[in-house]
Amino acid sequence: MNDAVDDRHRAGFKHRTRVADAVEALRAVVTPHDRTERVPLAAADGRALAEPVTATRDVPHYRRAAMDGFAVRARDTFGASRRSPEIVERVRDGDLPPSGAVRVHTGSALPDGADAVVKIEDTAEYGDEIEVFDAVAEGENVGQVGEDVATGRHLYDPGHRLRPSDLGLLKSVDVREVAVYELPDVAVVPTGEEVVKSEPGPGEVVETNGLTVTRLVERWGGTARYRDVVTDDHGVLREAIERDLDADVVVTTGGSSVGARDLVPDVVSELGEVVVHGVALKPGHPVALGAVEDTPVVMLPGYPVACIINAVQFLRPALKWAGHLPVEDLPTTEARLAGKLVSEPGVRTFARVTLRADDDGSVAEPVRSSGSGILSSVALSDSWVVVPEATEGIAAGETVSVERWEWSP
Q: What local confidence, expressed as pLDDT, does residue 159 receive? A: 93
Q: How far is residue 79's CA from residue 85's CA, in Å, rounded to a whole number?
A: 8
Q: What local confidence, expressed as pLDDT, does residue 405 receive? A: 85
Cβ atoms within 10 A of the Cβ of 273, count? 12
Domains and CATH numbers, the chain: 3-35+182-322 (3.40.980.10), 36-56+154-181 (3.90.105.10), 64-143 (2.170.190.11), 332-407 (2.40.340.10)
In terms of DSSP bridges, do strands 100-104 and 123-126 run parallel, antiparallel, or are they unpaired?
A: unpaired
Q: What is the torsional sign of CA 86, 87, 93, 96?
A: negative
3-state secondary structure of 263: coil
φ and ψ of 244, to 5 deg: -110, 20
Q: What local confidence, expressed as pLDDT, does residue 367 receive? A: 85
Q: What local confidence, expressed as pLDDT, does residue 19 receive? A: 96
Q: What local confidence, expressed as pLDDT, does residue 50 receive? A: 97
Angle (deg, nearest 10), helices 234-243 and 264-271: 60
Q: How far is residue 204's CA from residue 185's CA, in Å, rounded to a whole number?
A: 30
Q: What local confidence, expressed as pLDDT, does residue 79 receive? A: 93
Q: What local confidence, expressed as pLDDT, does residue 2 receive? A: 52
From first to last of its 409 residues, what are the pLDDT tens digits of the chain? 455 455 555 556 778 999 999 999 999 999 999 999 999 999 999 999 999 999 999 999 999 999 999 999 999 999 999 999 999 999 987 778 899 999 999 999 999 999 999 999 999 999 899 999 999 999 999 999 999 899 999 999 999 999 999 999 999 999 999 999 999 999 999 999 888 888 878 888 889 999 999 999 999 999 999 999 999 999 999 999 999 999 999 999 998 988 888 899 999 999 999 999 999 999 999 999 999 999 999 999 998 889 999 999 999 999 999 999 999 999 999 999 999 998 888 999 999 898 888 888 899 988 865 555 555 555 667 789 999 999 888 999 999 999 998 877 7
Closest CA relative to residue 190, chosen from 220, 212, 159? 212
Measured between alpha carbons, how far apart are the two ends of the chain, in Å? 41
Q: How far is residue 64's CA from residue 149's CA, in Å, rounded to a whole number?
A: 14
Q: What local confidence, expressed as pLDDT, does residue 4 receive? A: 45
Residue-wise burial string across 201-215, b where 16 or more C-beta atoms lie within 10 A, e elsewhere: eeeeeebebbebbbe
